[in-house]
Structure 1
Amino acid sequence: MELRHLRYFVAVAEEGHITRAAERLGIQQPPLSHQIRALERELGAALFRRLPRGVELTEAGRAFLGHARACLARAAEGVEAAKRAARGEQGHLRLSVPPTAPFHPFVPTVIRAFRDAYPLVSLAMEESLRTETLERLRGGQVDVAFLRASIAAPEGLAVHPLREEPMVAALPSGHALARDDGRAVPVRALAEETFIAYARDTGPALYEAMVAACLRAGFVPRLGQEAPRITTALSLVATGFGVTLVPASMQRMALEGVTYRELEGADGPRAFLGIMARRDDPSAAVRHFVALVRRAARGRRRAARGCPGLRRGPPADAPCSDGRAVGFRDRVATDAGRARAVSTPSRSWRTRCCAGTHLVFRWRRCSPYWAEARRPSRRVGRSRRVSSAPGCSSRSSARRTTARGASRSGPARRG
């Protein structure tokens, strides 16, 4: 028995006529009758009672019809599930994060965005440090991992840098440097302090950044008690065992007894944030997640530079120079903080950010009221030039102005 036999049976049962069922299935009537008889022989029971005009279900046929429909429905669901999994819209994704990554707002934001974009992909998260993360990625227990170490890509793995953030000093609340509200602390001022190291063996990236900052400041840090996790290190700071340097995003962890202070200097220590996955991973869900995270990181970098990049059009309620709201018939070019409306019925346009100024590039001239922000002037006729103004810069606008002035003055009198 094959799925096509079930489809043939359901079609004949619903049509009540073999010829009409054959037309519905797109086959000839004799092969359909032959397949129905073969199905009845396999089941050992008559499924249809032949009538002068059509057929009707027997008791065995009525009992078999519900199961045949359910089987076809389950098969269709399986086909759709396989297609969704091939497109990366369904499946499983195992994600590893270091202990400090969830405190960075970028990480929960992109995870939430992925869950919204691919709700049928089940996401499992676990916490691990660099050494364990590399082993689990190579062994296939983890699909994607965030990491805090700027390392060369190991064999078979791909590392994509995302962001960097400054590190801050975590001080006991009773410390003298903690009492100076809002004042940045020079690293040199911590030369006499005892530093608490964390994850020195299993995830040494932040420990190495802390030691390198001290060495650049001209002293070797005096190490005290070590902690396996950064949360444990902060607890030791709160109890007065020493100080430590942590990523700035850890300030979101408000711990009683700990005060955070920024570090002086633009060349202070910085914490790396990246993402790592297996090269050429066959999972489409993994590829979608990595692509989404990298797009989000590029978007934030452009926003930080004040350049939103290529976007499709102004906001729906962007104001013009005359106070009107801009609809789809208006195109806005921002020049020195002023918005200029260019009326056109065409949607063929794009807005590109160039040195902080949005210029409108029109790809075809399709309206008498058109303008190009790139050109400072347009030639009208053969002898006159009209300079671009914030109000309008088109040749046709100049003609309309001339024609309007002529109509107001009336016909010229003959001398």
Structure 2
Amino acid sequence: MIDIHKLNAFVVVVEESNISRAAVRLNMQQPPLTRMIKSLEDELKATLLKRLPRGVEVTEAGKALYQEALTILAHAQAIPKRVQNIAQGLEGQMSIGFTNSVGLHPFLPALLRNFREAFSAVSIHLEEDGSSSLIDSIINEKNDIVFLRKPAPIGLGLTSLHVLDEPLIVALPNNHPLAVQQDAIHILDLEPYDFVLYRRLAGQDLFDNILASCYQAGFSPKIVQEAPRLTSSLNLIAAGIGLSIVPEAIRDFWNKQIIYKTLHADTPCIAPIYAVYKQDFDHIRLSHILNLLK
């Protein structure tokens, strides 16, 4: 392995075209510098410099080494700063997972924007998936943090941070009998009607949350169709297939074919969002995200 000090000395000699001037620039005596260059030539088994009466001239092999040395020295010079940046969480990668319904809430793009503004050199990897897969991704350290509609299961070494509570609202086809109602719709008034829901396999937490709200009100919803994604369910609602209970952030979607109404219940109908991460995961960039959430 080539000594980086020898490479640096060689670069200075080439740039000065004179060993005496290079020695002054390097703050060393000429004989040690001459020996250092000779040692480098012996090591590489190549003549790097032609000795002239008033200086030196770089050979073709020397020119090749000079270009390589510049790259190596520049990289070596940048290493301490990069290591410091990594240690401080100013560089590296942040892997963030979220469910489909969380991805539709404005808090997530706002969080990502704030993080990008504060830590512009950190690359962000995003993954949308079901809650079970996202939990596994945290356990296996594939993701650093995930955002779900329920806290993490107990006993897996995970921590859950409550981020916010999002109200649930009613989404109705614009020709639905309840669409003309001016006041908030009581959840029990939905009992006679057909429901369209976001498929449990894809959105387990939200699905369970909606069913729990209906059960607490005293009825089991009549689910006539499930959709693979929350936004897909809106297409079915707009087509008149049924109504649904959805997070409030959905209100801006399909607002011509769908009527959105405030939902009233004896027990508040909410869809919380939790940040879930590994309890003992020492990760400075994760700390930066958590600070932005507090």
How far has the Cα of 1:26 moved from its partner? 4.6
Indicate yes or no: 2:246 matched with 1:257.
Answer: no
**Contact 2:196/2:225 (<8 A) preserved:** yes
Instruction: Tell me: CA distance 1:46–1:218, structure 2 relative to 1, closer, same or farther (3 Å).
Output: closer
Residue 268 of structure 2 aligns with which residue?
268
Tell me which amino acid in the other structure corresponds to 1:14: E
Residue matched to 2:129: 128
Deviation of residue 7 (structure 1)? Answer: 0.4
State the superposition RMSD in angstroms: 2.7
The separation in 2 between residues aligned to 1:123 and 1:241, in whole angstroms, is: 39
Say if 1:247 and 1:11 are closer, same or farther in 2 by CA, change over 3 A: same
Instruction: Report deviation, 1:50.
Output: 5.8
AA matched with 1:203 = G
- Would you say the 8 A contact 1:164–1:270 is kept in 2? yes
**C-alpha displacement of 1:169:** 0.8
Q: Could you tell me how far 1:100 is from its partner in structure 2?
A: 1.2
| CA distance in structure 1 between the partners assigned to 2:220 and 2:267 by the alignment | 18
**For the residues of structure 1 that align with 2:140 and 2:225, how far apart are their CA atoms?**
33
The one-letter amino acid paired with 1:192 is P
Aligned mates of 1:205, 1:62 — CA distance in 2: 64
The one-letter code of the counterpart of 1:39 is: L
2:86 is aligned to 85
Of structures 1 and 2, the larger Rg is shown by 1
User: After alignment, is 268-277 or 42-51 more displaced?
Assistant: 42-51
Give the Cα separation in 1 of the matches to 2:246 and 2:253: 11
Code of the residue aligned with 2:49 in structure 1: it is: L
What stretches of structure 1 of length at least 5 have no aligned partner? 299-415
Q: Which residue of 2 aligns with 1:138?
A: 139
- Cα deviation digits, residues 193-217 of structure 1 (max 9, x gap): 2333323245332222222322333
Shift of 1:186: 1.2
Tell me what 2:179 maps to. 178
User: Is the Cα–Cα contact under 8 Å of residues 153 and 159 in structure 1 kept in the other structure?
Assistant: no
Kindly indicate whether the alpha-carbon contact (under 8 Å) linking 1:131 and 1:203 is maintained by their aligned counterparts in 2: no
- Deviation (angstroms), 1:166: 0.8
Q: Deviations over 1:82-134 (max 9, x none)?
A: 44333332323332221112221111111122223333322222221111111
Question: 1:49-64 residue pairs with structure 2 within 5 A?
Answer: 49=51, 51=53, 55-60=55-60, 61-62=62-63, 64=65
Offset of 1:187 from its aligned partner? 1.3
Amino acid at match of 1:242: G
In structure 2, relative to structure 1, the CA distance for the partners of 1:79 and 1:259 (3 Å cut) is same
Question: 2: distance between equivalents of 1:25 and 1:288?
Answer: 42
**CA positional deviation for 1:4:** 1.2
Give the whole-Å Cα distance in 1 for the aligned partners of 2:56 and 2:80.
Answer: 31
Q: Structure 2: where are the runs of 5+ without partners?
A: none
In the other structure, the counterpart of 2:170 is 169
Structure with the larger helix share: 2
* TM-score normalised according to structure 1 size: 0.62
SS of 1:100's equivalent in the other structure is: helix
Query: 1:316 maps to which residue?
Result: none
Query: Displacement of 1:158 after TM fit?
Result: 2.3
Give 2:108's aligned amino acid: V
The aligned residue for residue 205 of structure 1 is 205
Flag the structure with more relative contact order, 1 or 2, with Cα contacts below 8 A and sequence separation at least 6.
2
1:232 equivalent to 2:232? Answer yes
- The aligned counterpart of 2:187 is 187
Cα deviation for residue 258 of structure 1 reads: 1.7
**1:111 & 1:42 partners in 2: Cα distance?**
51
Tell me how far apart the structure 2 counterparts of residues 101 and 275 of structure 1 sit (CA, whole Å): 11
* 1:39 to 2:43 alignment: no
Contact between 1:170 and 1:259, CA under 8 Å: does it hold in 2? yes
CA 1:100–1:5 in structure 2 vs 1: closer, same or farther (change >3 Å)? same
User: Paired residue for 1:147?
Assistant: 148
Aligned length: 291
